[in-house]
Structure 1
Amino acid sequence: MPRPTVFLSLVAMVSYSMALVNLTTTGCADASGLQKCLDDETMTTLACIHEADGSQVAILACGCTDYIRKYNCYSSHCWNRVNECEYQSYIVEYLALCPIAKLPIPYFPAPANASDSCSCNVGLVDLAILSNEIQLGACSANGNGLDPGANVQKDQGCKCCTLSGALSSMYALCPDTDPNLIGLSAIQEAATLADTSFDTCSPYLSKFNCVSDLGYSQIPGNTFYNPSNLPPTGTSTLFNVPGTVTAPASGAVFTYTNGADSQVYTITAANFKAGGKGDGNGNSPPAATAASWESIEKPLTQRLQMDANSGPLLCHPKPSPNMPQKIPSLVLFAVIGLVHSQTKLTTTGCIDVSGLQQCQNAADASTSQCIAQANADGSQFELLACGCVNYTLNYNCYATHCWNRVNECEYQAYVIEYLSQCLSAKLPVPYFPAPDNAADSCSCNIGNVRLAIDGSIDETATCTGNVNSIQETQGCFCCELSSALSSMYALCPTTDPTLIGLSLIQQTETDSNTPFDSCGPYLSAFNCTSDLGYAQIPGNTFYDPSNLPLTGTATLSNLPGTVTAPASGAVFTYTNGGDGLVYTISAANFNAGSGGTGSGSGSAPTATTQATSSKSSGGRRSINPGPFSLIFVLYFTSTIV
């Protein structure tokens, strides 16, 4: 069951072809050739998403491939503008959003002080920030021999050196540029996730020399600033410095091996003959050899998948000076958010309070060990897997020791959070969603609401792959929004929609660049069910902007009733959709046939894991990575632009 985690909704992956940074054709050596190349690749990406058949990895591969195809288009047809802010920012975005993106990439970063280049070399700034964030993983993993107090001090020193190295590099490379335009938000997000304000770093930067004590590489400008001596903040916008590129820097024809898919691409410069003179006839050579999403899918799967039998990662990405990796510091900080979830599973009123507390404590201890091992291995993806496993352990604890409260808002919201945060998460999950009108259930069946929203996103992938016009594609986006909103109103008409998924729908509006207010004409022109193939929805009415029901105002609460027996029985097994493992859940303090009377033994059985995983037999849809299900929490990459 795919989850719409920020930009990894299926609509957002369609929007991958409409990147945040747009590649424009004005002033290009071959403007018409570039436009045709970009248009062709957009259609290819839409077809790729349809062919992906719901596989999250395949869809992500489509997005990565879209970037590769389009920057190859630009290198062929707009080689005279590759030093400019536009192209360089596009590559920075690709490195942030595609988890296997690596150098080399044509014409990136631009040479220092090149003709017609960006006023700030955003490529060098991005690589400098990445380098410092990469070094945090190695720095944090090197304190195993220290006593606990010294290790805490050193870890804080590592965090402060990462923040200082990133900030200092930015100031050294582009002292006059407004830092908000060149990566400050990424550094601020890192500081927030690390729970480390740079303002508090002076003692640690005085205690530790980042280079000699903690092993950081020297940075541009050779100075690790502390909070007291940061240079004045620049205020300049980004612009292109004067100059004209009259010949492609890499020659009329060149080949390169792409770092992401290891494919060799041939780039032929349009409208250029060796010697620097355009041929003047408007001929447009073919774009670079097309990237294949299948060639991306395999390495991407390896990055996101673990061997279920042996446990370790199939691929441990290691930092390389030539191949920037995905910000392990942000991964390290983000996993803290996964382990300390926003929704708390409380023990009050549970059938086995002490057993649940013991089980949760054991889960936290196991997760701490997992994080320590991941740090020792220097693996950012193991860290994220630890967060996913923490969710699984905790909801299994709850299903065992608090089965009498699983219908309540708290548990249902916890599972929704798991499905949102963990890319490998899939149903089944015990006791989710709750049955309609069950005893002691949430006033709004938030599980059904979430599944309805997810269903609308799933169907949009199919819809956009089956249509042939821009109008129909826009109709798909509008039916997606209408389906999600209408389902929410039908299932929980009196509940405040901001509490049950409205923000997710609003994010989908943003991802698809489709405000629901603009959807009236498309919902009149197309019947979502008969014309575009959407399934019927709860309430059987696809609302348009003019006839939405009144917005509810009620908060979430638990309905009256008492669960006296576990709905799934005293003992049951299930195959977890996220990791493919079979778990046995034994209901605490319940004897089958006792009429629901607790045993009073206070025993604390815990969920057990079968020795083998239950793997699907094949197909791109089946990604069963094992007990430490690897995920890619893409929300944090959106801060790096």
Structure 2
Amino acid sequence: MSVSSRALLALVALSSMSLAKEVGYFDSSSCADPKGFASCYENVDTTYANCVNNNCAGGGELCYSSCGGSTSCMNEQCPGLGIDCTKACECERSALQIDCAGQSCWNRVYSCEYQATVLDYLSFCSSPDRDGLPYWPTPDDAPDSCSCNTGQIEQKEYLIVNQMDVCSNNQTNIGRIMTDVDAITEYGQACVCCAFSAIISAIWGTCPDTQPSLLAADEWFAGLLNPGHWEDCGPFLEKYDCGGDLGFGRIDAGGITKFYTPGSLPTNGTKSLYNVDGVISNPVSGDVLTWTFRSTLVHAVTVPSADATVTGTKATGGSDVTAATAAASTATGKAESDVKPGMGSSLIVPSWTIAGIVGILVLLTL
């Protein structure tokens, strides 16, 4: 999946943040094996640096050093390295970071921090094995889990976009074969509008209390819904059965049951992201974590800290901000007490999604 602009991500800000050691998205002091976790990340960063320096455009050591290893910086300042190359290296890094969490921070694998790590992996890796990811999506009511299950949102969005493509290329869903050009065009536009509405439902319906701006809602509107003329979708959504006839209600298409129209949008949530109470006392995976990277490469990670004694993190309950009442203008305020400064959201609008919808819209205008 390709990477595009990122939304600001609110993660839990612990009261001891200034004294804690931040490792990736995590406060390493909260991990079962803090030193092992920090050491693992250091090794991963070394692997990433070697990957970029040795493989991207004949060597990118100077660029890597000047950007401090930031992929977005290298893509902007050193385009000669090649975005595809740096993304491939970032894919490997994010996969190894998942290993680090399973090995030394297994007590936080349902947290907002772990969700952000997995979302990075899905963002940078092409054709990842989604079913093989560990602890993903987070089970309902899991201890020490993120207040918003961003894994469920991302999974729904992925299925919705796939269904939009299937719907747009299959004009037999409503019981007749279409030959009239105008009818085919209208049907294709209905597929796009149903997908737009389903995306809104996936975000607001999954986490109704969370600020939608923290869940990439602004990016979806700016990158797809507004350019795709979401404001004109009302008649199509009233005429067509998105959930039934056009298939968006199927579980393998996102399982959406509520379809909003431009004139009737959900109210924005007001809370930031935070981790709920609870403790994972033993590794969910047991002594060995095994998961599949892509379709054939299996990662097997031994958990040396399986006998460690862990304590839970105290839930903050999330901070409220003043919220807009319409989904088309998402909340932009940041609840500072629950945000790690500088953290970026991994919930994104993938560029392949933008390209796919643009392609459909172009075909509809021919």
TM range (shorter): 0.5 to 0.7
Matched residue, 2:228: 514
The letter for the 2-side match of 1:514 is G
Matched residue, 1:500: 215
1:408 and 2:111 are equivalent in the alignment:
yes
Q: Structure 1 pair 490/376, CA: closer, same or farther in 2 (3 Å)?
A: closer
Q: Structure 1 pair 396/503, CA: closer, same or farther in 2 (3 Å)?
A: farther
Q: Structure 1 pair 6/349, CA: closer, same or farther in 2 (3 Å)?
A: closer
- Conserved in 2, the CA contact under 8 Å of 1:490 and 1:538? no
- Conserved in 2, the CA contact under 8 Å of 1:367 and 1:387? yes
- Conserved in 2, the CA contact under 8 Å of 1:351 and 1:588? no
Larger Rg: 1
- Conserved in 2, the CA contact under 8 Å of 1:6 and 1:634? yes
- Conserved in 2, the CA contact under 8 Å of 1:345 and 1:414? no
The letter for the 1-side match of 2:306 is F
Q: Aligned to 2:30, what secondary structure does the other structure show?
A: coil
Matched residue, 2:199: 484
Matched residue, 1:523: 237
Matched residue, 1:573: 290
Q: Structure 1 pair 515/566, CA: closer, same or farther in 2 (3 Å)?
A: farther
1:508, distance to aligned residue in structure 2 (A): 5.0
Matched residue, 1:588: 304
Q: 1:399 & 1:508 partners in 2: Cα distance?
A: 34
Matched residue, 1:162: none
Q: 1:508 & 1:477 partners in 2: Cα distance?
A: 14
1:442 corresponds, among 136, 146, 153, to 146
Matched residue, 1:365: 46
Matched residue, 2:69: none
Matched residue, 1:556: 273
Matched residue, 1:541: 258
Q: Structure 1 pair 476/462, CA: closer, same or farther in 2 (3 Å)?
A: same
Alpha-carbon displacement from aligned partner over 1:36-86 (angstroms, at most 9, x marks no partner): xxxxxxxxxxxxxxxxxxxxxxxxxxxxxxxxxxxxxxxxxxxxxxxxxxx
Q: Map 1:309-328 onto structure 2 (within 5 A).
A: none
Q: Structure 1 pair 502/634, CA: closer, same or farther in 2 (3 Å)?
A: closer
Matched residue, 1:461: 165
Q: Structure 1 pair 417/375, CA: closer, same or farther in 2 (3 Å)?
A: closer
Q: Which runs of 5+ in 1 are unaligned?
A: 8-341, 599-632
- Conserved in 1, the CA contact under 8 Å of 2:107 and 2:280? yes
Q: 2:57 & 2:261 partners in 1: Cα distance?
A: 54
Matched residue, 1:19: none
Matched residue, 1:432: 136
1:388 corresponds, among 91, 108, 111, to 91
Q: 1:634 & 1:584 partners in 2: Cα distance?
A: 31
Q: Structure 1 pair 552/474, CA: closer, same or farther in 2 (3 Å)?
A: same
Q: 1:454 & 1:343 partners in 2: Cα distance?
A: 25
Q: Structure 1 pair 477/5, CA: closer, same or farther in 2 (3 Å)?
A: farther
TM-score between the two structures when normalised by the length of structure 2: 0.64
Q: 2:120 & 2:218 partners in 1: Cα distance?
A: 13
1:414, distance to aligned residue in structure 2 (A): 2.0
- Conserved in 2, the CA contact under 8 Å of 1:4 and 1:454? no
Matched residue, 2:62: none
- Conserved in 2, the CA contact under 8 Å of 1:396 and 1:430? no
1:365, distance to aligned residue in structure 2 (A): 1.1
1:419 and 2:133 are equivalent in the alignment:
no
1:422, distance to aligned residue in structure 2 (A): 3.0
The letter for the 2-side match of 1:491 is T
- Conserved in 2, the CA contact under 8 Å of 1:449 and 1:491? yes
Q: 2:127 & 2:111 partners in 1: Cα distance?
A: 25
Q: Structure 1 pair 354/518, CA: closer, same or farther in 2 (3 Å)?
A: same
Q: 1:4 & 1:478 partners in 2: Cα distance?
A: 23
The letter for the 2-side match of 1:419 is L
Alpha-carbon displacement from aligned partner over 1:495-551 (angstroms, at most 9, x marks no partner): 1111113134225525x8323222111100110122212234556212222332211
The letter for the 2-side match of 1:415 is V
- Conserved in 1, the CA contact under 8 Å of 2:94 and 2:121? yes
The letter for the 2-side match of 1:441 is S
Matched residue, 1:220: none
Q: Aligned to 1:348, what secondary structure does the other structure show?
A: helix
Alpha-carbon displacement from aligned partner over 1:184-212 (angstroms, at most 9, x marks no partner): xxxxxxxxxxxxxxxxxxxxxxxxxxxxx
- Conserved in 1, the CA contact under 8 Å of 2:243 and 2:256? no
Q: Map 1:188-337 onto structure 2 (within 5 A).
A: none
The letter for the 2-side match of 1:489 is W
1:376, distance to aligned residue in structure 2 (A): 7.0
Q: 1:539 & 1:464 partners in 2: Cα distance?
A: 18
Q: Structure 1 pair 489/384, CA: closer, same or farther in 2 (3 Å)?
A: closer
- Conserved in 2, the CA contact under 8 Å of 1:574 and 1:584? yes
TM-score between the two structures when normalised by the length of structure 1: 0.38
Q: 1:437 & 1:566 partners in 2: Cα distance?
A: 17
Number of equivalent positions:
260
- Conserved in 2, the CA contact under 8 Å of 1:4 and 1:457? no
The letter for the 1-side match of 2:237 is L
CA RMSD of aligned residues (A): 2.8
Q: Aligned to 1:534, what secondary structure does the other structure show?
A: coil
2:37 corresponds, among 336, 356, 370, to 356
Matched residue, 2:321: none
- Conserved in 2, the CA contact under 8 Å of 1:375 and 1:383? yes
Q: Aligned to 1:489, what secondary structure does the other structure show?
A: helix
Q: Aligned to 1:444, what secondary structure does the other structure show?
A: coil
Matched residue, 1:289: none
Q: Structure 1 pair 366/343, CA: closer, same or farther in 2 (3 Å)?
A: closer
Structure number with higher relative contact order (C-alpha < 8 Å, ≥ 6 residues apart): 2
Q: Structure 1 pair 419/507, CA: closer, same or farther in 2 (3 Å)?
A: farther
The letter for the 1-side match of 2:46 is A
The letter for the 1-side match of 2:140 is D
1:397, distance to aligned residue in structure 2 (A): 0.8
Q: 2:39 & 2:289 partners in 1: Cα distance?
A: 21
Matched residue, 2:14: none
The letter for the 2-side match of 1:411 is Y
Q: 2:129 & 2:49 partners in 1: Cα distance?
A: 24
- Conserved in 1, the CA contact under 8 Å of 2:190 and 2:237? yes
Q: Structure 1 pair 576/355, CA: closer, same or farther in 2 (3 Å)?
A: same
